[in-house]
Structure 1
Amino acid sequence: MPDAPYRDARLPARRRVEDLLSRLTTDEKIALLHQHAPAVPRLGLAAHTTGTEALHGVSWLGPATSFPQAVGLGATWDRALLRRVGEAVATEVRAFHERPAAPGRARIGLNVWAPVVNPLRHPLWGRNEEGYAEDPSLTADLAAAYTGGLRGDHPVHWRTAPTLKHFLGYNNETDRTTSSSDLPPRVLHEYELPCYRGPVEAGAVAAVMPSYNLVNGRPAHLTPYLKEELRQWKNGADLLVCSDAEAPSNLVAAQRWSADHAEAHAAALRAGVDSFTDHGTDSPVTTARLTEALRRGLVTEADIDAAVGRQLLMRINCGELDPELDPYAGTGQDVIGCEAHRGLARQAARQAVVLLRNEGGLLPLPADGTLAVLGPLGDDVLRDWYSGSLLHRTTLLDALRERLGADRVLHADGLDRIALRSAATGRYLSAAPDGTLAVSAEHVGEHEGFAVQDWGHGVTTLQAHDGRYLTKDGYGLLAATADHPDEWVVQETFRLERGEDGRVRLRHLGSGHWVALAAGSDALTTYASSREQAEPFTVRTVSAGAERAAALAAAAGTVVVVVGNDPHVNGRETEDRPDLALPPQQEEVLRAARAANPRTVLALVSSYPYAHERARADVAAVLWTAHGGQEGGAALADVLLGDHNPSGRLPQTWYRADQPLPGLLDYDIITARSTYLYLDEEPLHPFGHGLSYTEFRYGALTAAVDGDHALAELTVANRGPRAGAEVVQLYGRAHDAPVATPLRRLVGFERIELAPGEERRVAFRVPLAALGRFDPGHGRWTVDPGRYTLAAGASSADLRAAAELALTGPAAPPRPGLAGPIAARDFDEAAGVRLVERSREGGEAVAGGGPTPARLVFRAVDFGDGATRVELTAAREGAGPAAVELHLAGAVTRIEVPATGGRYAWTAVRADLAAPAKGVHELRIVLRGALRLAEAAFG
């Protein structure tokens, strides 16, 4: 249909979508709702797939340029760099898109599932590596930059269509499909939503993916915030919403929210989900459910049209119908891993390195003498689940030897070598050159020694003499054939359990089974279902890793100990970390090296923070970098040798081991006093911290109000001997707010390059709204009048210049107490409260019933000429005593709440107040017992 309106590139994209929708049959439209949408040949629509992973490089499609992990990109605090990385990743996605499709499949899709903008609220979150920062403003700025690069600069056509993940309140892997994240109004509007709103309003976001968890009692894939917030923002109306994998089925399976899948899919579609990622490529399962939902009247044709229309709009924006006009069409394969992208990867990895400590100027390393590189990560480059296939690997050891010469750089991994002797046969486990394992050796030689890597908490990996890992093959046999742990279910981890007989049994953690001798064979299987069936081994230590490390440290002029995590082990998607500790084996190597040589540098290469107080106190120089992709080793060498002056800054707080962390499921950062925004204590390393090889001086800060902005300026000078980059950070604080507000809040930052002796004037233009807060009493943002401090410095705890502002204007009025019901969920403060759904369709309430009474505080409520009675809207499922106490006007009104028969069986409970309330009062509500409260109306 060459003359059809949808073919006319001169028409507005929405007009073209309307025409296409009118030509599609209902069955064709429903088919387009699955992730793997079929072609519609009669209309010239090709098969289409949503979801190409592009978090820090193209993933899962073959070799591509690999950039540092997202948390490492966050450590650069560099908007321009993030945009360039986004451009490079999108260009390589386009190259993959140009490849012919596999038979029966669509070409690689241009809808990319990146970036992750969940704020890094909790350092134990298993997916910490995927986010940018703990701060919502920094997260939003970097996400806007990255999506800007992914989208491209063309006014009409998009290079790729970025997707923000994961909406909303998602920072736990533990019970992630069944746990509910409680987001009080202030936490929602001040901390969570800004991470999404910033990049969406910047205009480079095409889609959003909901999270697996529930939010305030309701599955995130059904949250009203998709429509009430996300699609109300500037540039938000046409956002595509792509479900996370298997999440639509979870509504019935794990979450038990819906009675059947047709009902669940209908609810998701009505809530705003447009693309269903479920059952892999088996789209008929999803289309049958949606067809059934339409037949039963659970959704309408208009619901389907709205979802399909957003999909078609994205496809048109990416040039599908106008390849001759698409400036990105025909991208050649030579861009994948090109020299420019390799150079950018190295620059990003350099800027991701954070110098945490450098006492006595131990770094950069001296130009002469010998250097010992110790630790398990010194000669390795590790990938995470979203890293993709590396085109090449440069380890730190390789880079240093290339620069300094192999004879000057010593190396030991610090791992113990052990031999395992079978109790049944008396022979030793041996690894053949092809990786075959057999309990067959009479004596211990090279092939019988296995390196044991303790990753902490009893989780170990075993490597044969050639470095390959022991793994379970497809037949359940053990073999030394894996390059690294690298599957959704890791097959390379074991637990070595010593029994009372002194012998060790191996438990294979991927399968949960035990290692035993195969029947009639000297091979090992993972089929034993119990410890009693496991083969006992006598363990013989062939060599002690810490002793070898100490010997090399003593022989070297300077030592670099490289430790950290494997992103597939003890903290990753589906698995949170248990604590902040370094693995004991790594601590032992570090202690041994430091005892042998005081000139010891600690290089932490990890996806998340560690509580390394002992190392900080004892080691003169400490660096941290996230896993840096293909150029990570070279970049770290550049920093150690002084070829690059470190400029990375921590994107999240590093806590001390003795600091109590909030619960992993406690999302109320205000009440928990967590993140740098509210933390009252001194952490191990503060948010924004990072040192340099040069010295930056800050001049006086001036600040003034200019309309609806605050203007702040200061001079920053490089008074040291080297050129370097400083990240000038500006923080704001309110002194007279009527509720708890952040102790410091990032309101601006600039990364500046200064030559020795150079100084520069740095100016910030800060919207006054950035100093405000959300007012639950009126459901709006407000900026309180009063005193504010703006402070500039090198970190959130190193503020070197400050100025005060006095903001005038009307204060937020008291909350109206008589104009209508007070919603229970709109509290100013709370403790022991759960936020829950008011009904299956919408609304929110609060619930008590925990070990302590639930308490709500409403700070200033105006009861006018007086209130003498109250009507509560409450619900109770069970029996037993339950009551609501109103602490108001110096009196306590206790109201018994009867059982109502269900969580949604709301009833009105009326009572006279113990004392009349007149004028403005603080209202405190206490929930005693298991009950739900939706609102309180006074009269």
Structure 2
Amino acid sequence: MTTAVAPTLPFRDPALPLAERVRDLLSRLTPRERVAMVHQYSPAIPRLGVAEFRTGTETLHGVAWLGRATVFPQAVGLGATWDEDLVREVAEAISAEQRAFHHHRPPVVGTGRNSLQGWAPVVNPLRDPRWGRNEEGYSEDALASARLGTAFCRGMSGDHPVYLRTAPILKHFLAYNNEEDRCTTSSGLRPRVLHEYDLAAFRLPIATGAATGVMAAYNLVNGRPCHVSRLLERELRTWAEPTGHELFNVSDAQAPSNLVDPEHYFDDHAEAHAAALKAGIDSFTDNGEDSATTFDRISTALERGLLSMDDVDAAVRRQLSIRFRLGEFDPQLDPYAGIGWDVVDSPVHRALALRAATDSVVLLKNDGLLPLAADRRVAVIGPLSDTLFEDWYSGTHPYRITVADGLGVEGVEGVDRVVLRTVSGLALTAVGEDGLLAVTDTGDSDAAAQFDLFDWDLGALTLRSAATGRYASMHDEDQRVYAERDQPGGWDVHETFSLEPGGDGGELLRNLHNGRYARVDPATGDLTMTAQAPAATRFTRTVVRDGVADAVAAARQADVAVVVLGNDPHINGRETQDRADLRLPPAQERLLRAVAAVRDETVLVVMSSYPYAIDWADEHLPTVLWSSHGGQETGRGLARVLRGEADASGRLPQTWYRGGDPLPGRLDYDIIKAGWTYQYHREPALYAFGHGLSYTRFEYSDIVLESGELDRNGEVRARVTVRNAGDRAGVEIVQLYVRAVGARYEAPLLRLADFRKVRLDVGAAAELEFRLPVADSLAHWDVTTESFTVDPGRYELVIAHSAAKPLRTAGVTVAGPAPEPRPALRRPVLAADFDDYTGIVLVDATREDGDAVAPAEETGRLLFCSVDLTGAARVTVEVSRAESGSALLELWSGERLLASLRVPSTGDRHAWTSVEAELPKALAGVHDLYVILTGEQRLRTLSFAS
């Protein structure tokens, strides 16, 4: 509850500049009030009429966790549209619904109002398709991620020159692509990968003012937690300065506490909180609604001199700035205050959800089976044929149009219906209105004793009661199981089980959440998930309906079989859990092959949060499509594409690798060295980045250049004409790539420079002009100058249908002097600025700042190309060693040993010392310098002197 305040206070005057209003309100807050505002749940200040404030509503592809709201395709599905206008419209709809929840519905947790800060979009490039959160990002390409993320932010924030509709937050800064041990793993980013790839996805939405802040990631980068990264200030805030607005950055949930436990990066929480606040975290999402803990830690840091009130004031100033821009203090002027509840799941938003679901479908292969003729009898088969799944960041579907619904047929799931009996013959049964599972004396024909058994691979099963139509779920409070859940879900999934060999032909039923086995009380028949294996009840399984047989029968009776396979977003790949591999669940693969064996005209629809290795399907089936979990209108959108009512206009936002293609390690973030993404992966993909077929045919003219000779400050101007040469209207994604020819560095095979989405009627053509600043589109990060640079030389522009299918090429030449060698005597050479390496990991030089290198195991090797050692007579290395004893550091030029240095123990990895050695006489000229590190040590810099 707030208290009325006289409108004469300056911060209440909308005619004053924003900075002046913020400054006035900040000056009226007591130190205790300011410290309290650093927590996620910022308390009300009744004496000033200031309401309580909370950061964060999840808005990734619809308003999440608050109830029924329009659900759009997953972010990776929106990425497949390659459509900035559509993504912006989707974000506009989401932000309008977020406003409606803010104005008209109480929060599910806490008091006050639902937050107008939107925790979306996710712009982390999708480096590894096994990432459990693959569904949350747009693309493996940094440019595509940045542009779609910018469009989403624009839609969220609105077009008003003063007020924001909502405040979008970019996630997750930085280099976050693995779930397992995510709070303790470190992502190694060499400077080129940092600047050309991971930072690049964040720069555009921040530099254009579209985003209002970032959320720091759980992981570490080069050994330092993201929540204390100086990049927050050095890069992000620097980019934002020209926009006239400061970023308001938030932590991820519980991450401030993680700095001490489990990361053990700091000794105590006051020190850790001080470091995070000074690094650029303005709001601490920590300990849920308990703001007292954060208050105490920040207060302790102030008392100990680890923080000043200026540090606190900077964070509070940024929060207040966002609150003013959201119209909190000017409700009479806020252009979005009048948004009503009727926008939620409105007809306009339903139509937009259908458009997004339609445009996100990607046609991967088509040997003429599609579009489906109206007179073809269609069987819709598979475990996803008649269901739509929500994911962790989904809103609640207001309704669900499944693929079977969209095609107007009854789905055949193709899963076994089973009865589980104890050795005494009693059947596991869903009893009563709540579907409590117990064993009873009933027959196999009793629906209450029958369960549909869904096999999601890796031993993860779900059991859906034939009687209730709901999934079995274990309750934590009593360890009993109830067939009551509409779908598996929640942060801790309680609906997954395994059936494991139990001896004597029996099986043990285990709940995967608590790890315990089912035990039946022999006196009452009650079942609880409380037993260890030796005391568990054994069951026998009887199949009362053969899922594959049903599917085969349905396929025989149809002209076309549409088999819908994929994942449940809560199982075997989600936040906190990476995927084991790229394969389809074997049970789904067997179902597909059985159907294809009796029906040549089989269409595979993969509905998933990520790519699969579907080599067999590509080789043996005529048609394959992919859709993400596309929201409430998924089925209608897919049906429109299958029938040809809409062109197949989606294109893949990431590479689909082949099953036999060994992927790099999950923690190998060096896309250059490891060979990640279309830019550096050299093996042929199953389906390449940008791939997707249309129902019509497009022809391209040659690329016409305004000039083929450019300087580094110039602009590439290129035109190309695309024409619909087919017999129906269609949609094309025109993709323009660049590549450096004969580069002195390991350049990308191709790099996306621009893209356009065009819709063309039969015979229609569009002339497209591309204008690419040379300094942006042809640049690479130069480790010698520690900046982006464009080398003189030859470059190619490539118009392509995908990264694997170039169509037209034109060459340009950039003039300018040749790059100079690395000057050894002018300044220290940073060890992290290497050109190549073997067996090296990047680490933190200090807790506060800087990178160093260390051997990954016993020995590591660095290469520094073209180092001008003219006049160098001695070398000094800045090193540390935590262990006792010493290590060895050697400098080589080719086969010539230049120096051998012993690295002494410094007692701590962050305690640095300098070691010096003389170089051979008459050392001159440009050398490729090798540094070999043997034994535990860290190297920060090399300095050469005459």
TM range (shorter): over 0.9
Amino acid at match of 2:934: R
Amino acid at match of 1:504: E
Amino acid at match of 1:334: D
Matched, 1:662 2:669: no
- Once the two structures are superposed, the pairs formed by residues 322-361 of structure 1 within 5 Å of their partners are 322-359=330-367, 361=368
SS of 1:616's equivalent in the other structure is: helix
Matched, 1:317 2:325: yes
Matched, 1:150 2:142: no
Maintained 8 Å contact 1:889/1:917 = no
SS of 1:909's equivalent in the other structure is: strand
Maintained 8 Å contact 1:733/1:788 = yes
TM-aligned CA deviation for residue 898 of structure 1? 2.1
Structure 2 match to 1:907: 913
- Once the two structures are superposed, the pairs formed by residues 266-281 of structure 1 within 5 Å of their partners are 266-281=274-289
- Once the two structures are superposed, the pairs formed by residues 712-731 of structure 1 within 5 Å of their partners are 712-731=718-737
Unaligned runs of 5+ in 1: 402-408
Question: What whole-Å deviation, never above 9, does each CA across 1:314-362 have from its counterpart, x for those lacking one?
Answer: 0001111111111111211111111111100100000000000001x10
Amino acid at match of 1:669: I
Structure 2 match to 1:405: none
TM-aligned CA deviation for residue 552 of structure 1? 1.1
Structure 2 match to 1:507: 510
Maintained 8 Å contact 1:824/1:933 = yes
Structure 2 match to 1:418: 418
Amino acid at match of 1:774: W
Structure 2 match to 1:634: 636
Question: What whole-Å deviation, never above 9, does each CA across 1:715-737 have from its counterpart, x for those lacking one?
Answer: 11111111111000000000132
TM-aligned CA deviation for residue 834 of structure 1? 1.1
Matched, 1:240 2:245: no
Matched, 1:9 2:14: yes
Structure 1 match to 2:455: 454
Matched, 1:757 2:763: yes
Structure 2 match to 1:603: 605
Maintained 8 Å contact 1:211/1:220 = yes
Maintained 8 Å contact 2:104/2:340 = no
Distance 1:310 1:447 in 2: 58
SS of 2:873's equivalent in the other structure is: strand
- Once the two structures are superposed, the pairs formed by residues 181-330 of structure 1 within 5 Å of their partners are 181-235=187-241, 238-330=246-338
TM-aligned CA deviation for residue 888 of structure 1? 2.1
> Deviation above 6 Å: which 4+ runs of structure 1?
none
Structure 1 match to 2:437: 437
Query: CA 1:763–1:433 in structure 2 vs 1: closer, same or farther (change >3 Å)?
Result: farther
The structure 2 residue matched to 1:770, chosen from 759, 777, 783, is 777
Structure 2 match to 1:533: 535
Structure 2 match to 1:463: 464
Distance 2:442 2:90 in 1: 55
TM-aligned CA deviation for residue 282 of structure 1? 1.1
- Once the two structures are superposed, the pairs formed by residues 425-824 of structure 1 within 5 Å of their partners are 425-432=424-431, 434=433, 435-445=435-445, 446-465=447-466, 466-473=468-475, 474-518=477-521, 520-528=523-531, 530-705=532-707, 708-768=714-774, 769-824=776-831
SS of 1:601's equivalent in the other structure is: strand
Query: CA 1:608–1:665 in structure 2 vs 1: closer, same or farther (change >3 Å)?
Result: same
Maintained 8 Å contact 1:270/1:303 = yes
Distance 1:927 1:467 in 2: 62
SS of 1:777's equivalent in the other structure is: coil
Between 565-574 and 9-18, report the one with greater CA deviation.
Answer: 9-18
Amino acid at match of 2:260: V
Question: What whole-Å deviation, never above 9, does each CA across 1:792-846 have from its counterpart, x for those lacking one?
Answer: 0211111111100011113332221011211101112222211111111211111
Maintained 8 Å contact 2:240/2:246 = no
Matched, 1:96 2:101: yes
Distance 1:601 1:90 in 2: 37
Maintained 8 Å contact 2:438/2:520 = no
SS of 1:496's equivalent in the other structure is: strand
- Once the two structures are superposed, the pairs formed by residues 24-43 of structure 1 within 5 Å of their partners are 24-43=29-48
TM-aligned CA deviation for residue 889 of structure 1? 6.2
Query: CA 1:98–1:24 in structure 2 vs 1: closer, same or farther (change >3 Å)?
Result: same
Distance 2:346 2:292 in 1: 40
Amino acid at match of 2:33: E
Question: What whole-Å deviation, never above 9, does each CA across 1:884-912 have from its counterpart, x for those lacking one?
Answer: 12112651132222222111221111112
Structure 2 match to 1:69: 74
Amino acid at match of 2:565: V
Matched, 1:365 2:372: yes
Matched, 1:872 2:877: yes
TM-aligned CA deviation for residue 101 of structure 1? 4.3
TM-score between the two structures when normalised by the length of structure 2: 0.96
SS of 1:585's equivalent in the other structure is: helix
Maintained 8 Å contact 1:830/1:856 = yes
Amino acid at match of 1:7: R
Structure 1 match to 2:3: none
TM-aligned CA deviation for residue 914 of structure 1? 4.5
Between 317-326 and 559-568, report the one with greater CA deviation.
Answer: 317-326
Maintained 8 Å contact 1:168/1:215 = yes
Identity, in percent, stands at 50
Query: CA 1:104–1:922 in structure 2 vs 1: closer, same or farther (change >3 Å)?
Result: closer
Query: CA 1:101–1:43 in structure 2 vs 1: closer, same or farther (change >3 Å)?
Result: farther
Structure 2 match to 1:126: 132
Maintained 8 Å contact 1:889/1:916 = no
Maintained 8 Å contact 1:364/1:642 = yes
Maintained 8 Å contact 1:891/1:914 = no
Cα RMSD over matched residues?
1.4
Query: CA 1:916–1:577 in structure 2 vs 1: closer, same or farther (change >3 Å)?
Result: farther
Unaligned runs of 5+ in 2: 1-5
Alignment length (residue pairs): 927
Structure 2 match to 1:404: none
Question: What whole-Å deviation, never above 9, does each CA across 1:235-269 have from its counterpart, x for those lacking one?
Answer: 47610110000001111111111111111111111
Distance 1:219 1:28 in 2: 28
TM-aligned CA deviation for residue 71 of structure 1? 0.2
Between 233-242 and 164-173, report the one with greater CA deviation.
Answer: 233-242
TM-aligned CA deviation for residue 881 of structure 1? 5.5
SS of 1:882's equivalent in the other structure is: strand
Maintained 8 Å contact 1:182/1:216 = yes
TM-aligned CA deviation for residue 441 of structure 1? 2.7
Distance 1:746 1:91 in 2: 33
